Structure 1
Amino acid sequence: MNMKGILLVNLGSPESPNPKDVKKYLGEFLMDERVIDVPLWARTLLVKGIILNTRPKASAAAYQKIWWEEGSPLIVISERLQEKVQQKVEDYPVALAMRYGTMTIKKGLQELVDKGVNEVLLFPLYPQFAMATTETIVVLAEEIRKQHFPSIKITDFPAFYNKPDYIEVLSASVSKHLENHPFEHLLFSYHGVPERHIFKSDVTKSHCKIDKSCCVTPSKAHEYCYKHQCLEVTRLVAEKLQLEPGSYSTSFQSRLGFDPWLLPYTDRTIERLGKQGIKNMAIVTPAFVSDCLETLEEIAMEGQEIFHEIGGENFTTVPCLNDDEAWVNLLAKWIKNWAEPSIAELI
């Protein structure tokens, strides 16, 4: 007899904003071969020889700016989401794990197995597919399953960037948070990735060219193309909100190193918009479902500072979906559709 359960997986967080804990977290994160995808010797030299000797102190200072009394915002928000989803799907245990840090995927799977679960819906909390997010979670979960839980079955929930009900929930959230904040320009800022990740994820090995045409030309490559999926979210939300052409755009944040990353960069886009005379702008970050360092510090603080320095006046950030009731209800719906396919059409 099958007992089904759900494992929600998010990115992770340091245990504290202390430089020592941040260094430990960054070491695990950046040594992931799907995050910095270079040979082990080069990755070790870069991460352990350079980054971990220079970056932890600055990153710790950034974490200290956004740290909540209850702990890491990402962890706290994810826990709230888990609890609310569990209330909606009472018949199916819902566990929470992080790809990096102490809340491991192994612990999450063990929690479900201890409750009798033998069929797991693995749910990476990322709307778009990327090597450094969805893929690394799926690959690690399968390795752990084979080694520690060979009798359970894992089903991966696919990227949901273009699901109509997700676009509806995201658009409603954007509209709700901007109704009292008039804006001239809405910037959709997504986490950046190196351009080589786009080429590596191209299952056709020929479609992706990172130009202005391939992302809008139908292809099997789009199932795993992060850039296409980001641009689609922007297009679909703009269409849903009936945004005028020129009143919105897409950019990419959080670049690392000197290799080519997806363009345009968010910080430079904010600066450019300010120089063009935009006085009221808003930013939404649809690569994340939970507010974190990249949204609370990099965008809401650093982004706002850039905009004001260049002459901008009103800078509005749209919160992530976090534990919004509509988002909770949507997750519960998708879970029930998976767990009870016979009633999926009735939901």
Structure 2
Amino acid sequence: MKKGVLLVNLGSPDSPTPKDVKPYLDEFLMDERVIDAPKWLRTLLVRGIILQTRPKKSAKAYQKIWWEEGSPLIVISERFRDKVKSGLSLPVALGMRYGSMSIEKALGELQSKGVDEVLLVPLYPHYAMSSYETVVVKSLEVQQQKFPEMQVTTMPAFYKNPDYIKVLSDSIAEGLKDFDYDHILFSYHGIPERHIRKSDPTKFHCKIDGSCCKINSVAHHTCYRHQCYDTTDRVIEHMKLDESKVSSSFQSRLAGDPWLKPYTDFEFERLAKEGKRNLAVVTPAFVSDCLETLEEIAMEGQEQFEEAGGKHYKHIPCLNDSDAWVTLMVKWIRQWEADQSLPA
């Protein structure tokens, strides 16, 4: 069998205009693993309410971060794909969960090169039903419907892999050079608390209060909250950071149901009012800089922190297409190619 690799990231509108943002948001928000309400209610919320105003607002946000080459997420992901491809003899394709760069197109590209055994790589370090899980489910759905002769192996969430922790830690250390921080905030993408409970295979372990994270459980394999805090703890240990100068929070949320806390925007204000003057912010839920990191954190976050009394603010970029991150991904793919082993 001929092997190939499918990298999958979130996706992006084709342009930072309401016309292109609207269908992108429609596909994203109508995903039952993003807004997990019954379809009739999801349709009412998304198409009857959210899409009436959100596309204009989101388009303005995209315009603030859009590059000359296009969407930062797309450009970075393409650069990453090209670098990974250059280190391998296997075909490597890039697809997006949402938007015009579809998973179907990427699998078709691999098929045209004779590939019938695919390593699916969701470009998310952590497991969440609204990110990692929806990529896997959509990819397998497309494969079974359009490419039934293909076999697919999925790379697991790699948040605790020692090599990944080293690459992430080294990237953070590089970002902290010449910045005299008095606090580091690890800001992870937020999800509704109910997603944690839905992803708990035991249906009783996750309490979302921290107590359950200290008890070893199969639930940790699919618990986004646990995996985020575990990532922070592992980086603290690897970098030998002062725990009193590090905390974690969750950004981006929709009104209504409770989402994971503490909220990042609240933390900007709290930290500034507690006397923190030099704040560094890391966004380890993403491997590629995107709207949520470049606009919400790098721009809005700085404004919020400084308005609350903070003085100096540093957003540390994601791994993007850094040589160390590319080298690690190539290493994992080569291991799979040679003996089917995957990072743990």
TM-score range, shorter chain: over 0.9
Alpha-carbon distance between aligned partners in 2 of 1:76 and 1:210, rounded to the nearest angstrom: 36
Asked if structure 1 preserves the Cα contact closer than 8 Å seen for 2:155 and 2:342, the reply is no
Residue in structure 2 matched with residue 251 of structure 1 by the alignment: 249
Please tell me the residue identity of whatever aligns with 2:309. Answer: G
Asked if structure 2 preserves the Cα contact closer than 8 Å seen for 1:216 and 1:228, the reply is no
Alpha-carbon distance between aligned partners in 1 of 2:130 and 2:210, rounded to the nearest angstrom: 23
Q: 1:286 aligns with which of 271, 284, 287?
A: 284
Asked if structure 1 preserves the Cα contact closer than 8 Å seen for 2:280 and 2:313, the reply is yes
Alpha-carbon distance between aligned partners in 2 of 1:166 and 1:342, rounded to the nearest angstrom: 19
So what's the TM-score if we normalise by structure 2?
0.98
Asked if structure 2 preserves the Cα contact closer than 8 Å seen for 1:186 and 1:249, the reply is yes
Asked if structure 2 preserves the Cα contact closer than 8 Å seen for 1:285 and 1:320, the reply is yes
Once the two structures are superposed, what CA deviation does each residue of 1:124-158 show, in whole Å capped at 9, x if it has no partner?
00000000011111111111111111111000000
Residue in structure 2 matched with residue 174 of structure 1 by the alignment: 172
Residue in structure 2 matched with residue 38 of structure 1 by the alignment: 37
Q: Hey, which bits of structure 1, 4+ residues long, moved more than 3 A?
A: 342-345
Q: 1:326 aligns with which of 311, 324, 329?
A: 324
Please tell me the residue identity of whatever aligns with 1:22. Answer: V
Residue in structure 1 matched with residue 85 of structure 2 by the alignment: 86
Alpha-carbon distance between aligned partners in 2 of 1:180 and 1:222, rounded to the nearest angstrom: 37
Please tell me the residue identity of whatever aligns with 1:107. Answer: K
**Structure 1 residues 292 and 344: alpha-carbon distance in aligned structure 2, compared to 1, 3 A threshold:** closer
Q: 1:108 aligns with which of 96, 99, 106?
A: 106
Alpha-carbon distance between aligned partners in 1 of 2:218 and 2:35, rounded to the nearest angstrom: 25
CA shift, 1:245, in A, is 2.1
- Structure 2 unmatched runs, 5+: none
Alpha-carbon distance between aligned partners in 1 of 2:293 and 2:164, rounded to the nearest angstrom: 20
Please tell me the residue identity of whatever aligns with 1:152. Answer: M
SS of 1:340's equivalent in the other structure is helix
CA shift, 1:343, in A, is 9.9
Residue in structure 1 matched with residue 53 of structure 2 by the alignment: 54
Query: 1:177-256 counterparts in 2 under 5 A?
Result: 177-256=175-254
Once the two structures are superposed, what CA deviation does each residue of 1:235-280 show, in whole Å capped at 9, x if it has no partner?
0001111111210000000011210000000000011000001100
Residue in structure 1 matched with residue 297 of structure 2 by the alignment: 299
Please tell me the residue identity of whatever aligns with 2:264. Answer: T
Please tell me the residue identity of whatever aligns with 2:193. Answer: E
CA shift, 1:342, in A, is 8.2
Alpha-carbon distance between aligned partners in 1 of 2:112 and 2:181, rounded to the nearest angstrom: 50
Please tell me the residue identity of whatever aligns with 1:338. Answer: W
Residue in structure 1 matched with residue 9 of structure 2 by the alignment: 10
Taking only aligned residues, the RMSD between alpha carbons, in angstroms, comes to: 1.2
SS of 2:244's equivalent in the other structure is coil
**Structure 1 residues 188 and 149: alpha-carbon distance in aligned structure 2, compared to 1, 3 A threshold:** same
Once the two structures are superposed, what CA deviation does each residue of 1:155-185 show, in whole Å capped at 9, x if it has no partner?
0000000000000000000001102111000
Residue in structure 1 matched with residue 143 of structure 2 by the alignment: 145
Query: 1:114-153 counterparts in 2 under 5 A?
Result: 114-153=112-151
Once the two structures are superposed, what CA deviation does each residue of 1:308-341 show, in whole Å capped at 9, x if it has no partner?
1111111001100000000000000000000112
SS of 2:14's equivalent in the other structure is coil
Once the two structures are superposed, what CA deviation does each residue of 1:218-243 show, in whole Å capped at 9, x if it has no partner?
10000000000000100000111111
Asked if structure 1 preserves the Cα contact closer than 8 Å seen for 2:3 and 2:90, the reply is yes
Alpha-carbon distance between aligned partners in 2 of 1:331 and 1:343, rounded to the nearest angstrom: 13
So what's the TM-score if we normalise by structure 1?
0.97
Residues 239-248 or 101-110, more deviating:
239-248
SS of 2:275's equivalent in the other structure is coil
CA shift, 1:344, in A, is 9.2
Once the two structures are superposed, what CA deviation does each residue of 1:27-78 show, in whole Å capped at 9, x if it has no partner?
0100000000000000000000000001111110000000000000000000
SS of 1:312's equivalent in the other structure is coil
Alpha-carbon distance between aligned partners in 1 of 2:210 and 2:82, rounded to the nearest angstrom: 42
Alpha-carbon distance between aligned partners in 2 of 1:173 and 1:329, rounded to the nearest angstrom: 14
Asked if structure 1 preserves the Cα contact closer than 8 Å seen for 2:196 and 2:224, the reply is yes
Alpha-carbon distance between aligned partners in 2 of 1:79 and 1:325, rounded to the nearest angstrom: 14
Alpha-carbon distance between aligned partners in 2 of 1:104 and 1:74, rounded to the nearest angstrom: 14
Alpha-carbon distance between aligned partners in 2 of 1:83 and 1:96, rounded to the nearest angstrom: 9
Asked if structure 2 preserves the Cα contact closer than 8 Å seen for 1:12 and 1:74, the reply is yes
Asked if structure 1 preserves the Cα contact closer than 8 Å seen for 2:156 and 2:342, the reply is no
Please tell me the residue identity of whatever aligns with 1:263. Answer: K
